Structure 1
Amino acid sequence: MQPIRVAIVGLGKIARDQHLPAIAGNPDFALAATVSPRGAGLDDVPHFPSLDALIAAGVAVDAVALCTPPQVRYAIAVQALAAGLHVFLEKPPGATLSEVVALEAEAAASGATLFASWHSRYAAGVEPARAFLADRRIDRVTITWREDVRVWHPGQAWIWEAGGLGVFDPGINALSIATRILPKPFFLREAILSLPANRAAPIAARMTFSDAAGTPIAMDLDWRQTGPQTWDILVETDAGDCHLAKGGSVLTLPTGTETQDDHEYPGLYARFATLVRERRSDVDIAPLRLVADAFLRGERETVEAFED
């Protein structure tokens, strides 16, 4: 079986750190090209300033992985789908819910695969946690996601602009896990979003969710943490605690602790290969919907200006 020829669109930090190694390590894929309006490409791989230029050059490509900021992703995805290309969307899948719904319809009409990826769902502890929680009574959930934006997004001005999500860029990772492991859907009760005086997106947020049974779910997001980073989800149940740490790679259950190596992006590309071979799409907007609810319903407070 021939490998899926994939082009990366947007050759920034996430593409270089995660997508390129995952593609290189998966025999189902071959890197066919890179696309970026700025900077150089890779040695021995065709490079283009735009998707238009790639398509016009006639380079054989089956799929694209869109690693651009979400504000510009919709138009590129529409163009790729219209050309019959399968599309892998880096998270979040779009700048708005309406864009993602429209893309799903475009993919269905074109017959191409559309994959809205949530890399944190592929952390090693997520599926075992989901299995443990499936038949438990959930008493309380506490989500703490605190990191240093200067480490993870240095100089990335787009992330502070409208549509860039601010602290919800990492926070949506926690929500992608929570919506996967918790057995019941949950929804926002209240939120306080902290916006720096000089930015359009929040640097911190405190939220309260609950499910239909009234189970309390508290979420604390902050982009100002220095030193050790905190990516924890604690679920208290009638059978003991389920604790996911380090973004889901470390799972502690009443029976003990399991730690495994990171395989998030290899897992994503394995899933994408299956979807492409089966001509199916996977477009789950639940995490993005909860973020949209926070912006819709949350109170705003202004905090001190932030300089990168």
Structure 2
Amino acid sequence: MSPQLSVIIPTHNRADILAKCLAHLAKQTIAENIEVIVVSDTNNPATTELCTQPSALNPLPPHFRFIEIPPCQQGTARNRGVAIATAPACFFIGDDIFLKEDCCALHESIHRNMQKPVAVLGSIGWDPDVGITPVMEWLAMSGWQFGYPSIERYAGDFLPKSIQHQFSYASNISVPTEIARRIPFLEDISLYGWEDIEWGARLRDAGIPLFFAPDARALHHHTMTLEESLRRMETLGASVVKMESITPGFDRRPRGWKLLAYKVFAGFPTMSGKHRAAFLRGMNKAMSDEE
């Protein structure tokens, strides 16, 4: 049977984590009906060996393809995977995303039963095996990492068009292959943190609705300290300014009353206050650099 879902995984010099990701894919309930495409943007011997010499210790999914490309951003790697995909739908995940055994089946079933092209968003939680820190618990509950708490009421339904782009996380999302080719990820940017949202805005503008399937679960195999989280927020603050300057209609930079609220709450010694302050530092530095 031809693959019904092409799982596309960009990777960069993380063979040990990628091996665990692939092991979860090999255990999918529809493993025989999925195609896994790993796109490596480094000539890394460990990654090459993992992806070309399967073993009992490191099994590969039944339908597996591996390509190496020059160093690039994740959007470029995803687009290269889409270019060789053979299934009717493409499923984007990261190399540190570990899928529950029925995750691929749920994505594939939704696409097969829909009467129109849609994007399908699964859910992600922290992998407890890495050790969940207090800031990770806060990020999950508050929605600062992934905003799932704010869209729980749309489970099994479409998100409102006005907000759907804010949740187009390319760590557990699938779209018809024809749509992925027609609406590719941007390749001419080197900014962290907003490329998913920008892509989601173009999906929205093209009339592609976003269906939320929280039962399509995955774990994020990544740990984070408070210091690392604050550095990430500072980077996001800087990149939102730069993204706005190169992307017409980009709407994630706080302005007006929202910016005022950011400044007020940034003064509180809370998790939220510390993260808002870091975001504003990044914004202010980027704006200063542009002057």
TM-score normalised by L of structure 2: 0.32
Task: Select the structure that is richer in strand.
Answer: 1
TM-score normalised by L of structure 1: 0.31
Task: Select the structure that is richer in helix.
Answer: 2
